Amino acid sequence: MQGIVAVAASFVMPTHTGSEATQLLLRWFHIIAGITWIGLLYFFNLINVPFMKQVDASFKAKIFQYLTLPALNWFRWSALATVFLGFWYWAQFYVAPDALRQGSNPARTIGFFLCLWMLVWFLLYVVIKKMTPSGYVLGIITTILCVAAGWLFVNYTPVGQDDNHVLAIGVGGGFGIVMLFNVWGIIWPNNKKIIRGTLAGTPPANAAIMARQAFLASRTNFFLSVPLLFFMAASYHYVIFGK
């Protein structure tokens, strides 16, 4: 009899609070969206860019219509979903509890995080759109800005300076903010104009410049994805900041 009870008990699902269920759902869909986003980012940078250089001009319109445009739609919306869900998870389940523990306001750290990383993106936006520099120059500028912003967040965030989750995601998620705005602020608008103009038979006069700017933003995202994934993994599996 005891054996039957034990077997039956093994099939009983554990109970979860509403908060635990919300955490699971947010984390799960954040991961699914992130795989989609980063997978497409790697596809564009490692496969599509070299491929398009070899394609005859007469075939590009079909490729734009049936491959590039649908892929860009998945790319931009998965980017938005990844950052939105991750930001929600971080703010509600790490920053807010730390603020409560410290008797502080979570909005201070959330606001600091958003302002800091949006400033980094704005500076990069100006560099890419106004200067269209070489990849090496942009890489150096990006490195300096991201290292400086990461150092500022880790050392001056009002809440969670002793919490590896808050700090590691605050840096990795900051890279995600920059990457998201690169997608919606440069990569998508520039490619949309090029693709729609090409399909209509009237490509933009500055298509080459716009393509170069989109490429620089995409390549920046490609390289930023490496430390982004490191800091996201470190937030759970390796204490790099705080404790």
pLDDT score at 216 = 98
pLDDT score at 26 = 94
pLDDT per position as a tens digit, 151-190: 999 999 999 989 999 999 999 999 999 999 999 999 999 9
Assess contact for 154 and 171: CB atoms under 8 A.
yes
Query: Mean pLDDT, to the nearest integer, of 131-156?
Result: 96
The Cα 64–Cα 68 span in angstroms is: 5
The Cα 4–Cα 2 span in angstroms is: 5
Res. 7: pLDDT tops 60: no
What is the value of pTM for the model shown? 0.91
C-beta neighbour count of 88 within 10 angstroms: 13
3-state DSSP helix/strand/coil % of the chain, to nearest 5:
85, 0, 15
pLDDT score at 64 = 92
The Cα 83–Cα 208 span in angstroms is: 30
Average of per-residue pLDDT values in the chain: 92
Assess contact for 174 and 117: CB atoms under 8 A.
yes
DSSP 161: T
